[in-house]
Amino acid sequence: MDFPRASTVDRLRIAQLFSNLVSNAVNHGADDQPVEITGRHGPMGLEISVRNGGRPIPADAIEKLFLPFKRGEASHGGLGLGLFIALEIAKAHGGTIDVFSDHT
């Protein structure tokens, strides 16, 4: 990751956002595929991307991913708050989270 300039953020909350995204990618990805993490300063500020090799997320599930207490079918004992919290942290920093999943 290359960050040529500093960003003003709540570092503990951004660390929590990052941890929640990576944990989700690990828990719901394929065991034999890596989790890829990239970051950069984009035109709108800090951009973080977390990608796994898991199965595609059904379109109807994508719209529910960031709701509180919603867990995927392969839940690993969490409360279903990780992605909700990550989104709220992104919003608090003037950002958002987008999901892209291949459906091929």
Question: Would you say the pTM of this structure is higher than 0.85?
Answer: no
pLDDT at 42: 81
Residue type for position 35: V
What is the rounded average pLDDT for all residues in the chain? 86
Query: Domain limits of the chain?
Result: 11-92
Residue type for position 101: S
Backbone angles phi, psi at 61, to 5 degrees: -80, -30
Task: Give the pLDDT band (50/70/90) at residue 71.
Answer: low
| Bridge partners, residue 85, by sequence | none
Backbone angles phi, psi at 25, to 5 degrees: -65, -40
- Continuous segment of H or E residues that includes residue 1: none
What CATH number is given for 11-92 in this structure?
3.30.565.10
**What are 21-63's pLDDT values in tens digits?**
999 999 989 999 999 999 888 888 888 899 999 888 888 888 8
Residue with tokens 């960050």: 3
Task: Give the pLDDT band (50/70/90) at residue 74.
Answer: low
